[in-house]
């Protein structure tokens, strides 16, 4: 991908001060890395470790360049402004990185309009902005912790997290290096020893080593706490480029026998090529397992250096292989190829409405990506990076800059409109005519369904959450484990109470319970926490991490319910099967129901709704123009033939079991629209509008269960 390495001039070995010549083998290593990234993305859907190779190479070249600058600006003849002025290097970075990125983002913006459903324009617009401003990794990190967005479809800009992380690394390291050089220059007037290169390198090396160790320790620490966030975290990723930087500062000078150099180089290259198969990168990087691609890259850099060879000994066999012209050429377009291959893959899969590319399709995507990468490198990157040396007439460069600026302005304006529309979009379905919008009653009671547009509109269905949202009365993932948030709905003056308890799949019934409570003078008291159905020993997994907070919260809630003594507890009775089709009643649920039974509390338990499993969320699928009959899920895949709770119902005489599957599915399919109402607002939560449509039948069933009317 990116680094700050010139493309046509020799490099200076920062550790020795000796000119080592241009390292074609490292260009070839970049070629191998980008090939691994693209191939693993397109054909295997895995992380290859290639990004970690890029990060290490970037740190090696960039720190070497900065150290060279710091050493060169120590003499008194160099002005203070020359020593600490960051703008020349920032301008160089901008010319190197920004044009190709902005070109790709402009094309991505157009393809979003052409290919993606309108429901995704707002969220994708946020990612265009985050990518352009180099904070996409943080955007994705926080989005991965957002329960409402955790099941969003794959983004065509997801890969740009590494661009953002590297951009942050470049700017942070550049500013720190220049300030450090300036301070050293000022102090050297009083402490002459600070002018010595070996002292400068030692101080820089010790500082980098300390930061590297802290970053690595942070990555390892956070791996078992929040890996989904850790994967994108700049702090956790810093150690990878800094490891390369450390090698640039402290390149070991030791001659190694040629046979051993060959063995080490081949072994390192084999690790880089193979690690994508035996390391689950998304689950393991950037913690300990990232040492494999990073360490192998450091080995190839070092073992291919002249410092490891005895006089008259040539390069290793691996170095000669990596220096092959085709690999070097591939390395020369690595940045542009990284930018292009992922959007092309994601847009193609979205256009075809499929999850994977076949071998032929993947080959075509890779071929187009390579062509676009070469064109981008040849006619965008090179002219704007090299200026007059590019060979492009000045008028051509001016026209290119104007075109890029125009495309950037157009893209930015489009994104602003998307974000404004998404922010202003609202859902107002509380006064729908039940004759036009019967919802679940259409399937449950055979009510006629007139031909009218569905509600809520697919464009805003994602905002159709229960009345408890935004979750001021719903426990958040970041809450202390035993914190209980309570909310009150229905008739707030009533003495009869129903406690709504559990996670978001209990919470989604709040609207219907609120209406019933107001009509029959019942107070609905909520005890809710995101992702936490009542449980005893089973530990839920959210955002890639175990979530034992639910267990502590459940114990606290059960104790609170024993004190509060609501007349009835309303909660879930089933969950989707963890593997395979259908749903089931977890043993933890049965243990919870046994506790309610043993202390004499009455329960109303509702079977969970079907979960959709398509490539797009049902509202997104509908927004593409597809029919509800293909945007839902097969009933046999989502639900067991019979409510699993009925098998144990006899053990719990205090519990009434409800099942509204027949209100959501016909005999074979659960469509995305039922009775002119959109069923889901994401993959698995019911829209509040649909839940309200079931109020009449729930009113009847709760009356029977409670005996109150």
List the CATH number of the domain containing 643: 3.40.50
pLDDT above 70 (res 4): no
395 and 494 within one domain: no
Give Cβ neighbours of residue 367 (< 8 Å, ≥ 6 apart). none
In a domain, 436, yes or no: no
- Between 392 and 156, the more confident residue is 156
Q: Tell me what the mean pLDDT of segment 95-109 comes to.
A: 94
339-366 pLDDT tens trace: 999 999 999 999 988 888 999 999 999 9
Q: How far is CA 561 from the centre of its chain?
A: 37
Looking at the predicted structure, is the pLDDT value of residue 150 above 80?
Answer: no
Cα 115 from chain centre: 21
Tell me if residue 578 falls in helix, strand or coil.
coil
In this structure, are 181 and 299 located in the same domain? yes
Q: What is the average pLDDT across 445-472?
A: 89
pLDDT of residue 273: 95
- Is 656 within 8 Å of 707 (Cβ atoms)? no
Radius of gyration of the chain (CA): 30
Residues 404 and 513 in one domain: no
* Residue 13 falls inside a structural domain: no
Same domain assignment for residues 390 and 446: no
Residue 571: which domain range?
441-450+459-706
> In 3-state terms, what secondary structure has residue 248?
helix
Same domain, 484 and 561: yes
Q: Report yes or no on 431 lying in a domain.
A: no
Q: Are residue 472 and residue 525 in the same domain, yes or no?
A: yes
Number of domains in the chain: 2
Does some domain include residue 421? no
In this predicted structure, what is the pLDDT of residue 500? Answer: 98
Same-domain check for residues 260 and 367: yes
pLDDT at residue 546 above 80? no
Examine residue 425 and state whether it is found in any structural domain, yes or no: no
**Within a domain: residue 117?**
yes
How much is the average pLDDT of 64-82? 72
Check whether 237 has a pLDDT greater than 90.
yes
* Confidence category of residue 337, pLDDT binned at 50, 70, 90: very high
Residue 655 near residue 607 (C-beta atoms within 8 A)? no
Assess whether 390 and 506 both reside in one domain: no
Claim to verify: residue 135 and residue 215 sit in the same structural domain:
yes
Task: Tell me the percentage of the chain whose pLDDT exceeds 90.
Answer: 67
Instruction: Tell me, rounded to whole angstroms, the distance of Cα 68 from its chain centroid.
Output: 37
Residues 402 and 543 in one domain: no
- In this predicted structure, what is the pLDDT of residue 7? 37
The β-bridge partners of 498 are 524, 568
């Amino acid at each position: 991908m990116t680094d700050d390495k010139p493309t046509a001039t020799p490099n200076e070995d920062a550790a020795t001060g000796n000119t080592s010549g241009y390292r074609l083998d490292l260009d070839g290593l970049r070629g191998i890395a980008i090939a691994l990234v693209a191939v693993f993305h397109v054909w295997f859907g895995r992380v290859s470790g290639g990004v970690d190779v890029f990060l290490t190479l970037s740190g090696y070249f960039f720190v070497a360049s900065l150290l060279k600058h710091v050493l060169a600006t120590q003499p008194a003849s160099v002005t203070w402004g020359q020593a600490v002025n960051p703008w020349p290097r920032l301008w160089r970075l901008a010319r190197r990185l920004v044009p190709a990125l902005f070109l790709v983002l402009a094309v991505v913006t157009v393809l979003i309009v052409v290919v993606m459903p309108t429901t995704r324009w707002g969220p994708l617009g946020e990612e265009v902005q985050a990518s352009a401003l180099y904070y996409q990794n943080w955007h994705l990190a926080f989005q991965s912790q957002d329960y409402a967005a955790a099941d969003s479809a794959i983004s065509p800009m997801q890969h740009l997290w590494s661009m953002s992380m590297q951009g942050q690394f470049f700017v942070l390291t550049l500013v720190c290096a220049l300030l450090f050089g300036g301070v050293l220059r000022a102090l050297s007037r009083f402490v002459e020893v600070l002018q010595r290169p070996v002292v400068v390198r030692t101080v820089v090396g010790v500082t980098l080593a300390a930061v590297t160790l802290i970053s690595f320790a942070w990555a390892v620490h956070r791996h078992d706490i929040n890996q989904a966030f850790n994967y994108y975290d700049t702090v956790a990723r810093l150690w990878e480029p800094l490891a390369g930087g450390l090698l640039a500062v402290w390149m070991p000078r030791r001659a190694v026998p040629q046979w051993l150099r060959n063995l080490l180089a081949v072994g390192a290259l084999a690790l880089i090529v193979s690690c994508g198969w035996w390391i689950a990168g998304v689950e393991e990087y950037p913690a300990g397992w990232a040492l494999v691609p990073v360490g192998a890259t450091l080995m190839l850099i070092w073992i291919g250096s002249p410092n490891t060879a005895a006089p008259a000994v040539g390069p290793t066999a691996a170095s000669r292989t990596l220096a092959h012209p085709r690999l070097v050429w591939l390395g020369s377009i690595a940045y542009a190829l990284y930018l292009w291959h992922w959007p092309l893959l994601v847009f193609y899969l979205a256009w075809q409405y499929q999850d994977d590319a076949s071998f032929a399709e993947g080959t075509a995507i890779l071929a187009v990506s390579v062509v676009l990468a070469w064109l981008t490198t040849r006619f965008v990157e090179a002219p704007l990076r090299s200026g007059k040396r590019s060979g492009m007439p000045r008028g051509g460069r001016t026209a290119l800059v104007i075109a890029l600026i125009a495309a950037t302005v157009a893209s930015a304006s489009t994104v602003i409109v998307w974000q404004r529309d998404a922010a202003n979009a609202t859902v107002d379905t509380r006064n729908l005519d039940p004759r036009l919008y019967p919802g679940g009653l259409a399937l449950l009671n055979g009510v006629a369904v007139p031909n009218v547009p569905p509600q809520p509109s697919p464009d805003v269905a994602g905002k159709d959450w229960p009345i408890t949202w935004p979750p001021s009365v719903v426990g958040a993932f970041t809450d202390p484990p035993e914190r209980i948030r309570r909310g009150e709905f229905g008739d707030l003056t009533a003495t009869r109470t129903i406690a709504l308890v559990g996670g978001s799949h209990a919470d989604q019934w709040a609207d219907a319970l609120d209406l019933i409570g107001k009509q029959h003078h019942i107070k609905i008291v909520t005890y809710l926490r995101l992702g936490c159905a009542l449980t005893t020993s089973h530990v839920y997994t959210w955002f890639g991490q175990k979530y034992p907070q639910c267990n502590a919260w459940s114990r606290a809630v059960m104790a609170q319910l024993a004190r509060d003594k609501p007349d009835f507890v309303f909660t879930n009775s089933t969950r989707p099967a963890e593997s395979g089709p259908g749903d089931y009643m977890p043993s933890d649920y049965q243990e919870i129901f046994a506790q309610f039974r043993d202390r004499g509390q009455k329960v109303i338990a509702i079977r969970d709704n079907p979960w959709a499993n398509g490539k797009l969320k049902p509202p997104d699928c509908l927004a593409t123009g597809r029919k509800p009959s293909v945007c839902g899920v097969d009933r046999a895949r989502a639900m067991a033939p019979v409510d699993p709770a009925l098998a144990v119902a006899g053990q719990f005489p205090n519990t009434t079991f409800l099942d509204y599957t027949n209100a959501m599915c016909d005999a074979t399919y659960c469509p995305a629209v039922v009775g002119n109402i959109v069923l889901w607002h994401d993959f698995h939560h019911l829209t509040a509008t649909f839940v309200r449509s079931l109020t009449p039948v729930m009113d009847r069933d709760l009356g029977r269960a409670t005996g109150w009317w």
